[in-house]
């Protein structure tokens, strides 16, 4: 059985949506989080946009992707905040490593 490029892209998009929905429901079920008052579909759309942003930057570590998605869930559009964006997208640095370093520093401060 052979698939066309369009069929493969549709399968990949469906897998991505399934993953983002799983994360969305996991976040909504976490009673320790303070989330904005919004419809679940709106949260899903924000997380999907953020997920695409992270993949574009080259993120591949699941725990870092999910940590960033949790941050987005509690702080809408966090990826666009100038200080965070400057840290993660620092010139000549690996964005995923930059975020990992930020989490390491935050953990040390606690």
Answer for the pair 17, 48: CB distance below 8 angstroms, yes or no: yes
pLDDT in tens, 93-104: 999 999 999 999
pLDDT in tens, 25-79: 999 999 999 999 999 999 999 999 999 999 999 999 999 999 999 999 999 999 9
Answer for the pair 37, 29: CB distance below 8 angstroms, yes or no: no
Q: Report whether pLDDT(8) > 90.
A: no
């Amino acid at each position: 059985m052979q698939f066309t490029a369009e069929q493969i892209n549709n399968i990949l998009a469906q897998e991505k949506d399934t993953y983002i929905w799983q994360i969305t429901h996991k976040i909504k079920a976490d009673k320790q989080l303070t989330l904005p008052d919004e419809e679940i579909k709106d949260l899903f759309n924000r997380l999907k946009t953020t997920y695409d942003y992270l993949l574009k930057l080259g993120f591949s570590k699941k725990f870092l992707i999910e940590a960033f998605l949790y941050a987005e869930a509690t702080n809408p559009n966090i990826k666009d905040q100038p200080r965070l964006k400057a840290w993660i997208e620092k010139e000549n640095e690996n964005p995923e490593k930059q975020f990992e370093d930020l989490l390491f520093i935050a953990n040390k401060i606690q």
